[in-house]
Every structure is written in structure tokens, then in C-alpha cells.
Structure 1
Amino acid sequence: MAETTNDTATLDCLIAGGGYVGLSVAVAVKHAAPHMNVLVVDAAPEDALSTDERASAIAAAASRMLGQLGLWEDMLKEAQPINEMIVTDSRTTDPVRPVFLTFGDVNEESNEPFAHMVPNKVLVGALRGKAKEVGVTILHGETVDDFITSDPTSEITLGSGKKLRTRLLIAADGVRSSLRDKAGIRTVHWDYDQMGLVTTVSHERPHHGRAEEHFLPGGPFATLPLPDKDGKHRSSLVWTEPTANAKRLMEAGDFTFELELESRFGHKLGEISVAGPRKAFPLGLTLARDFIRHRFALVGDAAHGIHPIAGQGLNLGFKDAAALAQTIVEADRLGLDIGMETVLERYQLWRRFDTVQMGLVTDMLNRLFSNDITPLRMVRSFGLGLVDRMPGIKKMFIDQAAGRAGTNPALLNGEAI
């Protein structure tokens, strides 16, 4: 496809959303089927992520997909492996936080950690670079405002007023997807009255690749290891608090914020300090009732927004990308119309149950652990300790976290489509 759009341009796939998941679909499709015309419409300007200092947890299965697409080797140079994870359940006032559960990679067949932390700038930069390399066109600072579904193609109206035609429109436009609403797809949604605070901290002692999840009465407090930078040891925080307290923390001065942070982070890594901007976002559960319509598909947060308690949100999106790309490419090889609902039903069957299951699991975990009810505290502490003594169950949890559980699309197994 040409680098410019016009009123008569016809596409195989138009992807609304230039985040990680949208770009992954585009790269995966174009990588396996170079003849297909793929366009990504990204509302953000091209330099939008240049100041993003955050990082994302990439599960082992997702790293296999990125490796198959020719991206992982370069990313790995700036990634931090998560070699171990510990889980505690305590109050902020407790002098000691007993460790109830420990995870390490027990998969003897692969020597890979169950996850890596990758800087967001590195991840999106690699995806954008590969997209352009394989011939995907990216329109930055543009939006998909409307669409009319018809055959053999749907008509797309961009924010600039330009019109395009595509065999398949893929909505990767986030948890508040406007395209999902225009497609008439309803959602199941409830709010947790919690917010997730995200920032980066530097600390005196090295983390040795260990992640920690502390279940506190206000919500889970996760520390995730990052690569050292400028000679400083660093970790990423995902900190859950009730909405009112989260807003108070966001408005607090640096001194107050660091005092509150220290009471949760502890002193195990020595002196700590905030090393990045604070960001906060509301938490809730959003599950699309359907993932597809005729010539239309949802991926990523547009299909499912879940609690970050298990760190699986982005990795569910990568699974969507791998499954949808495989569905599209294999249907095209058979000479089928990739936009037909009967073709897209394969993708929906592949992904809907898995995402609903994960959404309900994270919902249950959040409700179980985000409280200070003594009987529940006793039950969950006993349960965590029991799991820690059962290698088979621990391996099941690790495989789930690594994305190795269940029947995966080819890319997640490191195989070509």
C-alpha cells in the first residue's frame, strides 16, 4: 500500500489503535502474508512514547511470539528477567511480612524465565520499526471515527474525513473502545473503587531479578525488577489503593508520597527514592460479550480490561494478537473471506473463554485479598502456604503466568503461522 491514503484505497486489514496489541496483529499478519495490505491508524502522535519511563511484564509465551517475529533478540538487550517471585499477605504496620508463596521457573524443558520486564519505549519502538520493515503503513495522529459494514468491504471514515475500504476492521482502541460501542457489542462491567498507581523507584541494593507481590488491606502492591540505569538499581511499582486514598497520594508532595511508599516497600533493598513520574488509572473489570461482528474484531483491552493483580492484561492482548493473526492468515490461504463472521468465529472461540476465565480469577483474587477481614486472612494464608508445598500446583500457576498453559496459537509456541 502507498504511504498516503485516498478515497479509493482498499485494505485487507485496518487496525484502529497503534499500541502494543494493535501493532502486534499488524506485524504478525504482514510477516506471514506479505501480500496483504495492512494499515494501522494510531491516535497518538509518533513521539508520544518518547518520555514514557514505564516498563511492561512480557510472559515467556509472548517473548516466543516476539522472537518468531524477529523482535525479541534486540529487546532482550534492554530487558530484565524475572527469575523469582514471592507472595506475602500482611498489614502495612506488621513488623515482619512472612513469605507464604515463592515462584521460580520450574520448567526443566526450557531455561527461560517465566517473564521479562521490558521498557515500554523499547517495546513500542521495536514493534513500530518491524511494522515499517515488513510494509505496514502507520498513520499517526489519526482516528477511526465511524464505519459502515457492507460487502465485500466496509467503509471507514477517518477523523480527517478521508474514507477507506477494508475487508476487516480490528478495534485495538482500548478499554473505552468507541468502535466496540459503534459495533453494538455490549460489555459486562463493574468498578472496583480502586486505582492503580504506577511509578519507578531506585534502591540501594540489587533486586537479583526478584518480583514481589504484597497483598495489603488496600490492595496488592507489586514490585517488579528493572535493569539498572545510570548505576542505580531500579524497580517498577504497581500499587493498588482505594480511589480516595489513591487521589490523596497523587496530590501529596514528594516527601509524603515517599513516606507512604516506604511503609509498603520496606527496607529490604535499602534506601529508596522515586525515580519516575507517578501515574494513576481507575481499576475495574470490563469483558466484551462478543469479540466479533461481521468484518469486525476486538483485541486487547477493547475486548477485556482486567485487574492488574496477576499482571496478565498485556499478555492476554498478545494472545489475542497471535490468535487473530493466525485466523486471518490461514483463512486467506484457503481463499476464504477474512471478514466473514463464520471465519472470525474461530478467533472468538479461541479467546473468549480464556479471557472471561482470567477476568473472573483476577476479580476473585482482588476481592479475597483486598481486605483486612481476619477469617479471610487466616483462610488465604493457609491456602498460600498449602500451594507452596505442592510442586504440581505451583507449576500450574507458573505455566499460567508464563503463558504456557492451554492450547496456544502457533506464535506463542515460537512457531511460524
Structure 2
Amino acid sequence: MRPPRLCWGRRQPAVPNSNSTPTNRLRRVLFAGGGTGGHVFMAVALAQELKRRDPGCEVLFVGTRQGLEARLVEPLGFRLETVKIGGLNRVEVTKAVVTLARLPFTVLQGARIADRFSPSVIVGVGGYSSGPVVLGGKLAGYPSILIEPNAYPGLANRLLARWVDGAAVAFEEAAGRFGAKARLTGIPIRREFFSINSAVADDGALRLLVFGGSQGSRPINTLMCEAIKWLPEARVEIVHQTGKADHERVKSAYSELGRKADVVEFIHEMPQLFARSDLIVSRAGASTVAELTAAARPCILIPFPEAADDHQRRNALALEKRHAAVVLEQAKTTGKELAETILRLADNREELRQMSAASKQLARPDSVEKILDLMSEVAASEANESHG
């Protein structure tokens, strides 16, 4: 039995005719969620492909003012609306209570936004706003799917599993949580990552990119500040994305050692930086891993040890098992050990090329297409049911 839905003032979607293609069934798409780059860029990848295929498709993002979407979405040409909601994981009790008290209002806000926009489908991409907006839209009668990039779904997606019409999962382990609604698709990432030249430079200084996710990682920053003592400029060129909070501290550490490097708060054109890098040091979030494999970049992964259900360590070990990455544990790694690992790879370009080839085998270039197909099927099924 399908969950009940509360439909008020809803504009009925058009029934697709027999000549309609999967893309033109998606006249209006609402992406709910954000917060971190991983969530935002999954939605951006899908939105850009929708607009590429059908310039007339209307796209709306719904997130929060505090999330990365507030900085990224509108400059990319998409409309953004915001809701008020916070997180529940690893927050003070008082903040959690405020979030729980606000939740019903955010669900109602999501329903009203959905009614104004009348989407063909709502796509939940994770983050604070995803759950309440997807639920609100579903209660208002609009079809919805979730994107689950991790092997073990988060709490919000587990709770929403019975309500949504479909789920795009990246790992078979996650499929069981959604039953027949699950579709194994991979993780949607921007097209540019797949067009990167995977060649590793034969000689010269190793081009190293260091980043800890869209918000930066203080532990990785600290490791690199120590590691640069053993990384001569002649052997390693560094681009280091620190995040806003840690930028001045890291920049000062490089400066005090007289070490030249490109130290930045945030990287807007990540595909271009990937293309210029021989080796990447990063966390192991699902979207990051998908981008690394799409670009066939050799990498040193330092998983975030407090990630929910330890999913970053699982992601990292999956790559290491296939010889596509080297994994270092944050708590057991010193700056000197990180430097030694970087220099070992800098001196063995053949190993880097083998890692690149192994990484490329793990890429899912059809992930965006598969998710768009699922979105279209859900939208068409709901439209036919509404007019049946």
C-alpha cells in the first residue's frame, strides 16, 4: 500500500504522450538539499544535463542560507529558495531541540514551495533541507526520488524510504533499504570530470592537489603544514584548498617556511584543478570518490573518522582494494609519513599510471543518464496515475 498523500491546490502535471522522450517529461524539477559540495554538485550535475538536453526545462533548488548552495547555485544560473532547518547529528542538545521543533514548519514550507513550483519530480540529494522538503512535497502530492551515494543510507533517507517513489543508489548494499524502488545508478557528477586527460607527467615536479571537501579539513590541513617540511619545491608543486575557517593559519604555515604554494579557501573550478594534478590528497566522501574515479586521478585518501556509519573508510578501502588509492588513517598518520608517501609516489610515476588506470575502471560515466531515466519514469508514472 502506498503512503497517504495530502494534495491541496495542486496543478496536475501533463500526461506524457506516446512520442515524449524521457527528458521532455521533466518540465520542472525541484532539487532539495545541499549544505556541502558533495550534495550540491550532485544536483548541479543533473541540473546542467537537464538544461543541456532541454533548455526550456525549469529547475529550482531548495536549500538553506548556511549551505554551500547559497554561494554556488545562483552564479551557475539556477534559482534558489531557502528554508530554515538545522542538523541533528553531532550538535548540542539545545540546537537539536530547536531543529525538531522547527521541523513541522519546514515540512509545510517545503509543501508550499512545491505547490508554487509544481514540479514534475522532486529530487532529494541529502543535507539538512532534503528530508523535510521531500516529505512536504510528497504530502502535497508530488512524485519524488532520493539519491543515496553511500553504502549505508543516512537516517533521513531511511525514514523517507517508504514515502518516495524511487531511489538512485551508488552501492548494492544500500539497495536493500529501498526494496523495489532502488535503482543502481552510481553517483551523478559533472561531465567535465570524464573528459579530463588521465595522463601522469613523466618527469618534473609532481603536481599535488590537497583538499578536504568543500569546507576544508583542519586535520588534513595540519598534516600538510607539517609535511611541507619534507616536500622540496623542486620535487612537489602544491595547490592546497583549506576552507575558509583555516585559510590564514595554513597560509601562514607555508609562508613561515618560505614554501611557495597556491593556498586557497575554495576551488570553484575543481575539474580544471584535477586535470592539472598528478596526485590528489583528500577525504573519501562518496562524491569525491566518484569524481576521482571519473577523472582517473591517483589519490591518497584520509577518511573522515567520524563520518556516519564509517562510510568514508569503506569508500576509501574499496579504492585501495582495487589499487586505485593509498589509504592513510588520520589518527595514525604524521606529517612526515604523509610526506614520505607523497615522495614515494612522486619517484614512481609508473605506479601512479597504474593507479590511474585502476581508478578509471571504477568510473560510472552513465550515472547521470540513469538517474534522469529514473526521474522520468517516476514523473510519467505519477502523471498517468493522476489522470487515470
Q: Give me the TM-score of the superposition, normalised by structure 1.
A: 0.33
Q: Give me the TM-score of the superposition, normalised by structure 2.
A: 0.35
Whichever structure has more strand as a proportion of its residues is: 1
- The structure showing larger relative contact order (alpha-carbon pairs under 8 Å, at least 6 residues apart) is 1
